[in-house]
Amino acid sequence: MTERKLTRRTMMAATGVGAVGAAALAGVPGASASAARRGHGLADAVVAAFRRHRVVAIGEVHGQQEHHDALQTLLLDPRLPEVVDDIVVEFGNALYQPTMDRFTDGAAVEDPDLRLVWRNTTQSPVATLDAPMYEQFFRTVRAANWALPENERMRVLLGDPPIDWARVTTKEDVRAFDDRDGHMASVLKREVLDKGRRALVCYGSRHVMHAPPGAEGGGGIPLIEQQTGQRAYVILSGGHPRLASHPRRAVIPAQGTWLETADSSEFHYLPGDCGIAFGAIADALLYLGPRNEQTQSLWNPALYLDPAYWAELRRRKAITGAPVDLRRQYRHQHSVVWPTPPPGEC
């Protein structure tokens, strides 16, 4: 680890991710005001944040294509493996960690085995995660690792609890895996922090946002912060009319900008709460563009013509009592237009 940390410092100096860039992104006094207002690219923001933090968390917008487009550019940035050891994701069942380790290391993994990673999470059958962007995420990490020495490859840690659907027969069996945030925190502590490693976390915004001052509990990131004293750097995705002049995928720090005191409920495609300042729950905002220009990544309805897969989804629905019309949700073609309603009034 000592040798690799030296490599990271050398890399950051060589690529120019230095005092001004890191200061602007981390909210350090003395940062360029104009840089703070305009923001930085996602890769620049993440690399700079790792100068001061061992955990950097990005709030994933489930199913949003533009969000995963931004993640793709981040994963392929050649600087990322220099600052990241592990990538912890919500959209993968920890039961299949050995499968994912083989896959991202470049070994041959049959497609039916790989699909179990995202199809068999605790969120099935409400969310099958068959949208192509999730599979593409894993394949992109594999591609980024391809030319790297074994000790420099990024490991994907599957953060969803290790439910084994083959053994599930009752609703109580499913409830045994309800503590998803606790599981995520345990993975971060055991596999990352206790080993002196650094992690990029890609989870839904509710799981990664800081707990507001005076609040306890919350998602997985607040839990790990409370348990270890390690403060994560949190980037949430959102839109706002005041951001219309900003370029897409700009990351704007909260500290020292209007975002610090903005009501978090005012943002599009961000699960904020009335009366809670954005700066209380996040360190920076990833702007993906206007709300009415967002799209969603959709699964191929033909996937659900597989009799065995369809029967299993129906079995899971019967067990969980999930309020989902499987046929309408999965076997019908939907529009790619992002269905997010405008923010509510406080």
- What are the distances in angstroms from CA 118 to CA 91, 92, 113, 307, 325? 6, 5, 10, 19, 20
Q: Indicate whether 282 pLDDT > 60.
A: yes
Q: What percent of the chain has pLDDT over 90?
A: 75
CA angle 334, 136, 66 (to 5 degrees): 55
Q: Indicate whether 94 pLDDT > 60.
A: yes
Helix (H) or strand (E) holding 159: strand 155-160
Q: Indicate whether 64 pLDDT > 60.
A: yes
Residue 314: predicted pLDDT: 98
Give the SS3 label for residue 239: strand
**Peptide bond before residue 125 is cis, with ω within 30 degrees of 0:** yes
Residue 338: predicted pLDDT: 87
Residue 33: predicted pLDDT: 47
Average pLDDT, the chain: 88
| Contact residues for 100 (Cβ-Cβ < 8 A; gap 6+) | 92, 117, 138, 156, 158
Q: What is the pLDDT of residues 290-315, one digit of tens each?
A: 888 899 999 999 999 999 999 999 99
Q: Is 107 within 8 Å of 150 (Cβ atoms)?
A: no
Provide mean pLDDT across the span 132-148: 97
Provide mean pLDDT across the span 11-21: 37
pTM of the model: 0.88
Q: What is the pLDDT of residues 205-261, one digit of tens each?
A: 999 999 987 777 679 999 999 999 999 999 999 888 899 888 888 999 999 999 999
Beta partners for residue 235, in sequence order = 58, 284
Identify the burial level of 250 via C-beta atoms within 10 angstroms of its C-beta, where 0-12 means exposed, 13-18 middle and 19 or more buried: buried
Token pair, residue 54, equals: 């061992």
With the C-alpha atoms ordered 214, 232, 296, 109, is the resulting torsion angle positive or negative?
A: negative
Token pair, residue 86, equals: 């592990």
Residue 268: predicted pLDDT: 85
Q: Indicate whether 340 pLDDT > 70.
A: no
Report how far residue 334's alpha carbon sits from residue 130's, in angstroms, rounded to the nearest whole number.
14
Residue 292: predicted pLDDT: 86
The more confident residue out of 104 and 40 is: 104
The more confident residue out of 39 and 81 is: 81
- What are the distances in angstroms from CA 161 to CA 97, 98, 137, 142, 228? 11, 14, 19, 23, 21
Q: Indicate whether 10 pLDDT > 60.
A: no
Q: Indicate whether 8 pLDDT > 70.
A: no
| Contact residues for 334 (Cβ-Cβ < 8 A; gap 6+) | 296, 298
Residue 39: predicted pLDDT: 56
Token pair, residue 176, equals: 């045994």
Q: Indicate whether 322 pLDDT > 70.
A: yes
Report how far residue 335's alpha carbon sits from residue 293's, in angstroms, rounded to the nearest whole number.
13
Q: Indicate whether 117 pLDDT > 70.
A: yes
